[in-house]
């Protein structure tokens, strides 16, 4: 018997009493979504910058580049100073990556990004600093709401990212910047 069959045969013997599939009846708290979002993003170590136009984001990129930083920009209409190579490993010395995010979640400060927005799956993690542009009208109250809006296609990778990489593995002391990005800026486009 294959192990698959053996596992299924063992499960057949279990007969746990059936329990119905629950349904979520929790009402989203839509009060002051932007205020909730900013508070939670701050809590998880990220920074919110509200912008009216994309050109304001370009001004930030320009400043970073003038400071000598290498910038990959994946947002249409904006420019960085570095293109993606075929091999993602060369991104290891990247200073800043800017990508599109599709949705933002008020209850935890997260944004949803997928690989089509980043070119290489590893981009949002390997860069020293991560920035995303997200439209304010994609902001929803909680995780139940956001999973209705973002659907992964077959073969895709998608991530909820809430703030920079962090750890508290040494005596519970919070340190920002473990393996992923050491800072995260969310440009919220009104």
Partner 1 sequence: MALIGGIESHASAAEKFNRDVDRVNWHDKALWNLRHKRDLAAESQPEWEDLKQLGSEYKLHTLANLKHYLTEFEANCKKNGIVVHWAKDGKEHNEIVHSILAKHNVKNLVKSKSMLTEECHLNPYLIERGIDVIDTDLGERIIQLNEQPPSHIVVPAIHLKKEEVGELFHRKIGSEKGASCPTYLTKQARAHLRQKFLEADAGLTGVNMAVASEGAVAIATNEGNADMGVNLPKVQIHCMGIDKIVPNMDAASVLSRTLARNATGQPITSYTTFYKGPKEGGEMHVVLVDNGRTKLFQDELLAEAYKCIRCGGCLNTCPVYRRSSGFSYNALIPGPIGIAVSAGDDETHSLAWACSLCGSCTQVCPTKVPLDKIIFKWRRIHSEQGKLPYGKNGYMPWVGKFMANETMLNLGMASARTALRILPDALMKPFGMDWTKHRELPKAPKTGSFEAWFKKNRENK
Give ∠ CA 142-147-150 in degrees, rounded to 5. 120
Site for partner 1 in 16-35 (CB under 8 A): 16-22, 24, 26, 29
73-88 burial: b if 16+ Cβ within 10 Å, else e: bbbeebebbbebeeeb
131 near partner 1, rule: CB under 8 A: no
Considering only residues 111, 163, 183, 185, which one is a binding residue for partner 1 as defined by CB under 8 A?
A: 163
Do residues 102 and 84 touch, judged by C-beta distance below 8 A?
no
One character per residue 45-84, x = contact with partner 1 (rule: CB under 8 A) = ----------------------------------------
Q: Which is nearer to partner 1, 55 or 149 (CB)?
A: 149
The number of angstroms, rounded, from the C-alpha of 109 to the middle of its chain's C-alpha atoms is 9
Considering the complex, what minimum distance in angstroms separates the CB of residue 145 from partner 1? Answer: 8
114-148 burial: b if 16+ Cβ within 10 Å, else e: bbebbbbebbbbbbbbbbbbbeeebbbbbeebbee
Contacting range for partner 1; rule: CB under 8 A; set: 48-56, 64-72, 76-84, 88-96 = 88-96
Q: Which is nearer to partner 1, 59 or 168 (CB)?
A: 168
Measured CA to CA, the distance from residue 11 to residue 16 in angstroms comes to 9
Do residues 51 and 57 touch, judged by C-beta distance below 8 A?
yes
Tell me the two tokens of residue 148: 């209705």
Considering the complex, what minimum distance in angstroms separates the CB of residue 75 from partner 1? Answer: 20
One character per residue 103-122, x = contact with partner 1 (rule: CB under 8 A) = --x-xxxx----x----xxx
Considering the complex, what minimum distance in angstroms separates the CB of residue 30 from partner 1? Answer: 14
Q: Say how many residues touch partner 1, by CB under 8 A.
A: 72
């Amino acid at each position: 018997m294959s192990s698959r069959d053996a596992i299924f045969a063992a499960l057949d013997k279990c007969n746990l009493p059936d329990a119905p599939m629950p349904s979520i009846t929790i009402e989203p708290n839509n009060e002051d979504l932007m205020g909730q979002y900013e508070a939670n993003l701050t809590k998880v170590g990220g920074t919110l910058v509200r912008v009216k136009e994309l050109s304001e984001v370009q001004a930030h990129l320009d400043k970073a580049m003038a400071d000598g930083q290498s910038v990959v920009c994946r947002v249409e209409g904006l420019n960085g100073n570095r293109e993606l190579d075929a091999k993602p490993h060369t991104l290891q010395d990247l200073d800043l990556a800017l990508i599109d995010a599709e949705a933002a979640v008020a209850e935890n400060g997260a944004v949803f990004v997928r690989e089509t927005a980043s070119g290489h799956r590893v981009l949002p993690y390997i860069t020293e600093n991560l920035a995303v542009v997200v439209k304010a009208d994609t902001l929803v109250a909680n995780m139940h709401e956001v999973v209705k809006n973002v659907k992964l296609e077959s073969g895709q990778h998608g991530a909820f990212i809430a703030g920079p990489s962090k750890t508290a593995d040494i005596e519970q002391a919070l340190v920002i910047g473990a393996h992923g990005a050491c800072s995260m800026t969310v440009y919220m486009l009104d």
